[in-house]
Structures are given as C-alpha cells and as structure tokens.
Amino acid sequence: MKIAIEARPVKWSYGTGIGNYTHSLIKELDALDHKNEYTFLCPDNQPQDYLPFSRDYTYYSLPKDDQREEVEIPDWLAIEKVDLFHLPQNGFRIPKRCSCKLVVTVHDLIPYFLPEMVRSSFLKRFTTEMPFIVERADRIITVSAASKQDIINIFKVDPQKITVIPSAPSSAYRPLPKAETKDRLWKTYGLKKPYILYVGGLNPRKNVAELIYAYSKIRRLLPEGQSLVILGPEGRHRSKLQLLGEALNLTAEELIFPGFIDTSELPYFYNGADLFVYPSLYEGFGLPPIEAMACGIPVITSDVSSMPEVVGDAAVKVNPYDTLALAEAILKVLTVDSLRLELSAKGLRHSAKYTWNKIANQVLQVYQELISYSPVV
C-alpha cells in the first residue's frame, strides 16, 4: 500500500497541537510500519531537516498556494500511485478530485461552538470548507468521543464513518529528577519560588483570565506562596492578561509570563510545578493535562466538552465559568497533601493509557480497513 501524508504542519505548526500530532504520528509510523510505502507533502525541499522519518520515502514540495494546490496535489497523488491520502490538519486542502482513499483527522469544531473566540478569517474558512471535507472524506478520525458526537450532531454523519483515536504525549513527558529540574528552572528562567502552571494558547477560549481571577482571590492563602506561571507567546492576548494582572494588583513575582517556551523545555516546567491548571472552555482532546499527568503533577481542569472523558477520575474537574469553584479547588489541592499525592499517582497511571504506539497501530488499522474494503472496479 502506498500512503501519502500531508506533512506540511510539521514545519508550519510544530509546537502547536496539530503540528505536534502530525510529527508524532509520522515518527511512530516510521518505527512501526515496515510494510507500506510512504510519500509526504512538504513545504520545501529540505524535509530531512524536520520530517521524523528515517526510512526511504518520496516527497512533493509545495508551498502554501490555494490555486497550485488544487491542481498539483491530485497530480502528485496520481504520479505516486497513492492508495490512501491522510490529512491530519482538520482536512484542509482536501483534493476535490483524486482516485485514492481520503482520511482526515478532525480535531475539534471550535468555530461552531465558540465563533466569537475565533479569528473572522478562520471562522469563515472553517465553516465554509468543513461541510465539504466531512462529506468528501472516506474516513474521519477524531480524538475523542465528545468530538465524534459534535461531528455527528452538526453534519449528520454516519457514525460508522468516524473512528475515535485519541492523542498522546511524547515520551519526553515523564517524571524528572527534582534537583535537576529546580536547578535548570532557576538558572535558565529565574524561577525559584514554587508555582502553579498553565501551558497552552492564550486566546479567550483557553479561559486563562478566569485562572488569573481565581488565583488573585487565594494567592495570600497558598501554603508556600506559589506564583502563577503562564506559558504562551507574546501578542495581544498575553498583553491583555498582563493588564488584567496589573488591575488585580498582582506583582511580577506572583504572575509570571516566561514567554514562548520550546517544546523540548516543557517537561522541565511541568516537573517543576506544584499544580497544573487547565480551565479551557472547549477542547477536542486537550493534551496538556495528560502531559502534566505523565510528569506526575496533579491536575485541575474543566468539566466541559471532552475534558471529563480525557482525564477520567485522575484530575479535579470544575465548572470553568465559576471563579470561586476554581479558586477553592486550587487551594484545596495545594493544602491537602493526601489529595495532591493521590492525584499525582492517579495521573501517572491514567496518562500511561495514552501512547503513540497504540495510536499509530489504530491509524494503520483504519488505513488497512479502507483499502481492504474498497470495491473491485
């Protein structure tokens, strides 16, 4: 079987959910599948610099260009005699014409549920293209049962067309020696005090403002005077959150924005935290809580969308719109030692259920089913 994968997100979006998903999937397929042939759609002629695939492969170089893509992607698939094309980035740029089977990974339907929290250009594109993507795909992979139900409800898709395959943290997320972690965080980032951690985007959907409000109510009651460390890139969302902190009279030692942190450094930030809080309003999967669990860190997250399904009973779940409930949960976890230890142990066990080996095997099964069940013409 000849498999094609849209690999441009590895270069364009690495460090974000879709980029990391695509990178991890390709890396695990390289290790796992020695039977099928692979070809990749890349943004340039240097795929060896970023594509985690060590065996022989072919590729096609195509920068982002809507007009060229409509013509050249189908031509590439035909020339390569591809049996199946997988588009992991919500199916964008799915070909209108091609003879091979099409698999798309739809991670979430955020623009349909929180349109006010999405850029207008992306909202227009998503809601315009997604109905066609869902109809055109031969199989849809999505990352949670909650997302599967969203797709069914909105697009009236046959449930048998959708396969739930969750995401997973990379092997880099694991417990690290505390002394090494503490030393690295202090020398590299100036973090010396104990802290509560948030990792993820800073757009309003992530609900970070609510976390800052909650923290401001209890900061003087925290047992070790923990700071609140918020990771995320510079930009207008971060500027607004910083202004909120100033309005709440939070000092630079209490509310800390280290900026964008390279993916390779994130395990140190997780391992150094006393608590991880992720109060998002909507997630297709929501990987950061599982990354934190894999590092042995207790987790508080939302009780909405896919989060209860993803974290199970290994995290404290709260209403993300209830500031007081969030504040009380943070204070309770940091002051009740038995609860904190219980969450840490449960999180380690729970996160072990999510592995890229398992995911890649399930994806390969989807590929094989599509090709095996293809009617003979």
Q: Write the CA distances from 238 to 42, 245, 250, integer angstroms.
A: 32, 11, 15
- The answer to whether residue 377 is domain-embedded is no
- The answer to whether residue 173 is domain-embedded is no
Q: Which domain holds residue 326?
A: 178-351
- By the 8 A CB rule, do 202 and 257 touch? no
**pLDDT range class, residue 64, cuts 50, 70, 90:** confident
Residue 326 and residue 365 in one domain: no
Q: What's the pLDDT score for residue 373? A: 66
pLDDT (average), residues 259-272? 94
The answer on pLDDT for 340 being more than 50 is yes
Number of domains in the chain: 2
Residue 305 and residue 363 in one domain: no
pLDDT (average), residues 286-308? 97
Residue 135 and residue 201 in one domain: no
Segments in 33-165 forming alpha helices (H):
66-79, 110-113, 120-136, 145-155
CA–CA distance, 340 with 332 (Å, rounded to integer): 9
- 350 sits in which H/E element: helix 337-351
- 299 sits in which H/E element: strand 299-302
Structure confidence by residue, pLDDT tens digits, 92-130: 999 999 989 999 999 999 999 999 998 999 999 999 999
Residue 52 and residue 151 in one domain: yes
- The answer to whether residue 154 is domain-embedded is yes
Tokens of 218: 């209890």
Please, which residues have CB within 8 angstroms of residue 76's CB and are 6 or more apart in sequence? 4, 39, 41, 60, 62
- By the 8 A CB rule, do 356 and 170 touch? yes
Residue 125 and residue 78 in one domain: yes
CA–CA distance, 301 with 291 (Å, rounded to integer): 13
Residue 315 and residue 195 in one domain: yes
How many CB atoms are located within 10 Å of the residue 10 CB? 28
Query: Which residue, 212, 352, 226, is CA-closest to 293?
Result: 352
**pLDDT range class, residue 374, cuts 50, 70, 90:** low
Instruction: Read off the CATH number of the domain in which 63 is found.
Output: 3.40.50.2000
- By the 8 A CB rule, do 39 and 82 touch? yes
CA–CA distance, 312 with 307 (Å, rounded to integer): 8
- The answer to whether residue 67 is domain-embedded is yes
- By the 8 A CB rule, do 273 and 197 touch? yes
Residue 184 and residue 316 in one domain: yes
- The answer to whether residue 76 is domain-embedded is yes
Q: What's the pLDDT score for residue 154? A: 97
The answer on pLDDT for 375 being more than 50 is no
Residue 142 and residue 49 in one domain: yes
Query: Which residue, 11, 26, 60, 70, is CA-closest to 40?
Result: 60
Residue 25 and residue 150 in one domain: yes
Residue 219 and residue 315 in one domain: yes
pLDDT (average), residues 118-145? 96
The answer on pLDDT for 202 being more than 90 is yes
Q: What share of the chain in percent tops pLDDT 90?
A: 93
Place of tokens 């309005």: 247
**pLDDT range class, residue 67, cuts 50, 70, 90:** confident
Residue 151 and residue 191 in one domain: no
Structure confidence by residue, pLDDT tens digits, 319-338: 999 999 999 999 999 999 99
- The answer to whether residue 52 is domain-embedded is yes
What is the overall mean pLDDT for the chain? 95
The answer on pLDDT for 222 being more than 50 is yes
How many CB atoms are located within 10 Å of the residue 322 CB? 15
Cα dihedral 281, 285, 287, 288 in deg (nearest 10): 10
- The answer to whether residue 212 is domain-embedded is yes
- The answer to whether residue 103 is domain-embedded is yes
Residue 73 and residue 215 in one domain: no
Is 39 strand, coil or helix? strand
